[in-house]
Chains A and B, each alone.
Chain A
Amino acid sequence: MTVLLEARNIGKRFGGVQALKDVSLTIRRGEIYGLIGPNGAGKTTFFNVLTGLYPRDAGTVILAGAPLALGEPHRVTQAGIARTFQNIRLFANMSARENVMVGRHARSKVGVGGAVLRSRTQREEEAAIRRRADELLAYVGLLERADALAKNLAYGDQRRLEIARALATEPQLLALDEPAAGMNATETAALRGLIEGLRRDGLTVLLIEHDVKLVMGLCDRVAVLDYGEKIAEDVPAAVRQDARVIEAYLGGSLE
């Protein structure tokens, strides 16, 4: 398997707190890569640095062989990393379809002139955006709710809509920040099916998750963060046996 993303020595400090320290990890094309760790370990910080929301203090990220310009989220998205948010961030007063259509922004280009004149290019592009949005809504199973406002969707549907919106940006890497947070067992099972489907379709997924069972069952490889440092990176079965991981989670060794 080829390497899709390589993060080298990522560092991030908030005032006196070293939130990330020398974090390096490698994600291979086509795998589901889990990032776990106790509360406050720096998982979401890593996500925000990776997707450009926070400027980083140190380190580089290589995506598909090219260095990633961090610090400008829209350029990270254009380069091929899409994300969802821990606390869902949809465009509440737009319909489900429009939410996904916004995701096509980076992959379309007609500007003000084309829009005002309704040029042929504009109409064709608009139709293509709409078609793709409907395909993605169907993919996550929300097509019949396409015209509902995002804020009126059920919780699980909102999570899936956010994934559809992220997919609309044609990512090489899909980064999901605690997608199962707040979900009941049925919804989590449906989500699991969706993520497995993504892997089958060749997408690479980076998954932050609290639900250890979900991570261990779903991921090809898992990295564990603790106090901003990577303490383990391996296949789930090996990580589960790792003494440092057990210590981080249980606050002491098991002897």
Chain B
Amino acid sequence: MNGAWMAQRWQRNPRFGLVLIALALVALPFVVGAGLGNTWLRVLDFALLYAMLALGLNIVVGFAGLLDLGYIAFYAVGAYIYALLASPHFGLHWPVWAILPLGALVACGFGVVLGAPTLRLRGDYLAIVTLGFGEIVRIFMNNLNAPVNITNGPKGIAGIDPIQIGGHALTQPLEFFGVTVPGLALTYYLFLGLTLLVMLAGLRLQDSRIGRAWVAIREDEVAAKACGINTRNVKLLAFAMGASFGGVAGGLFASFQEFVSPESFSLMESVMVLCMVVLGGMGHIPGVILGALTLTVLPEAFRHGAGPVQQALFGQVLVDPENLRMLLFGLALVAVMLYRPSGLWPEPRHRLELGAK
């Protein structure tokens, strides 16, 4: 089996390519688990969570062109809904299939609450307001422990129930036809499935009447109105859809960590998700996923790789890998934006048009 043969098969039958990708995705947690250990398996799970988040934000920023710097607030809402309804904090232990849709719904409501007063704003002004909104949500989580203890304040909520499917907790390994699948790999499959669903929803929305209306608003709001688009409703819809994806991802995050606290939902997180969307290729779904995977895996690689590489080169660790990580990460961002301003994997049509000129 050589490369040329594979490429030929691929061209003759795109389905063959899909099968290969599916096999690779199924095998991935075993390869990573065996080769790099559980730390990396966790990184992989987080990468999928971020992919979901980035896909949600892509609807708001990439499609509708509304710059949202407080997106992590919806992630926080989803996470706290899960934490409150499935932990010893209130003694509630709702099943995951009840909480996740509820989290999506509540986050969706928050999306509308944020969207409604900001409808007239665009660009920088919208960014500032959404930034404020994100901080407000975080500060509420931080302070809602008095007079009535709802969120347990900065200490956060611990002991959150792991996700259970058919009575099996995803933290436990599962025997499957004689193969032991570790809990982290089970989580990976669940997250992968949900990410694919979110991706499919995004792709279908993009190629629909609503998706076109979003892009039309991004391109020229006045013209969009003149085309009969109710820009108020369609923008709110973008906020609501993006927020509900964020809410689902937040619920998964809470169950995966088994702990939530306000510090997980800082402005830096909003900025990271925005970076994933912009760096990957705004409005292009495969690009956004690539951006999310890159920006989750790369910093981890720096963290783990920088120490040993220095040891090998200089015989000692000169710079703390933790510091070096952010430096290299920043440089990578600058480089990508300079040399690929429309992202790592922009919409091929746009690239084609640029190339044709």
A118 touches B226 (CB 8 A): no
Shortest Cβ distance from residue A131 to the other chain B in the assembled complex, whole angstroms: 14
Which stretch from A104-112, A180-188, A195-203, A218-226 is at the chain B interface? Answer: A104-112
B208 touches A126 (CB 8 A): yes
B353 touches A152 (CB 8 A): yes
B204 touches A105 (CB 8 A): no
A73 at the B interface (CB under 8 A): yes
Q: Hey, which chain B residues are within 8 Å of A85, CB to CB?
A: 222-223, 226
B216 touches A53 (CB 8 A): no
Q: Hey, which chain A residues are within 8 Å of B272, CB to CB?
A: none
Q: Hey, which chain B residues are within 8 Å of A53, CB to CB?
A: 222, 225-226
The B81-121 residues at the A interface (CB cut-off 8 A) are none
Instruction: Count CB-based A-B contacts (< 8 Å).
Output: 105
Q: Hey, which chain A residues are within 8 Å of B229, CB to CB?
A: 74, 102, 105-106
B220 touches A91 (CB 8 A): yes
A102 touches B204 (CB 8 A): no
Chain B, Cβ-Cβ closest to A77: B228
A89 touches B220 (CB 8 A): yes
**In whole angstroms, how far apart are the Cα atoms of A110 and B224 in the complex?**
18
Interface centre among A73, A114, A122 (most CB of B within 10 A): A73
Shortest Cβ distance from residue A48 to the other chain B in the assembled complex, whole angstroms: 10
Beta-carbon contacts of B206-243 to A below 8 Å, as 1s and 0s? 00111111011001101111111111000001000100
Which stretch from A34-42, A93-101, A246-254 is at the chain B interface? Answer: A93-101
**In whole angstroms, how far apart are the Cα atoms of A94 and B217 in the complex?**
12
On whether A125 and B223 interact (CB within 8 A), knowing A74-B228, A74-B230, A74-B231, the answer reads no
Interface centre among B225, B228, B353 (most CB of A within 10 A): B228
Q: Hey, which chain B residues are within 8 Å of A78, CB to CB?
A: 228
**In whole angstroms, how far apart are the Cα atoms of A45 and B223 in the complex?**
16
On whether A111 and B226 interact (CB within 8 A), knowing A94-B216, A116-B205, the answer reads no
A91 touches B210 (CB 8 A): no
Contact of A129 among B201, B209, B223 (CB under 8 A): B209
Q: Hey, which chain A residues are within 8 Å of B237, CB to CB?
A: 112
A77 touches B226 (CB 8 A): yes
Q: Hey, which chain B residues are within 8 Å of A208, CB to CB?
A: none
**In whole angstroms, how far apart are the Cα atoms of A52 and B231 in the complex?**
14
B12 at the A interface (CB under 8 A): no
Shortest Cβ distance from residue A89 to the other chain B in the assembled complex, whole angstroms: 4
**In whole angstroms, how far apart are the Cα atoms of A98 and B152 in the complex?**
50
Contact of B211 among A82, A115, A125, A169 (CB under 8 A): A115
Interface centre among B225, B237, B349 (most CB of A within 10 A): B225
Q: Hey, which chain A residues are within 8 Å of B231, CB to CB?
A: 74
A-B contact pairs, 6 of them (CB 8 A): A93-B219, A94-B216, A110-B208, A115-B205, A115-B211, A152-B353
Q: Which residues on A are within 8 Å of B, measured CB to CB?
A: 51-53, 73-74, 77-78, 82-83, 85, 89-95, 98, 101-108, 110-112, 114-116, 118, 122, 125-126, 129, 148-149, 152, 165-166, 168-169
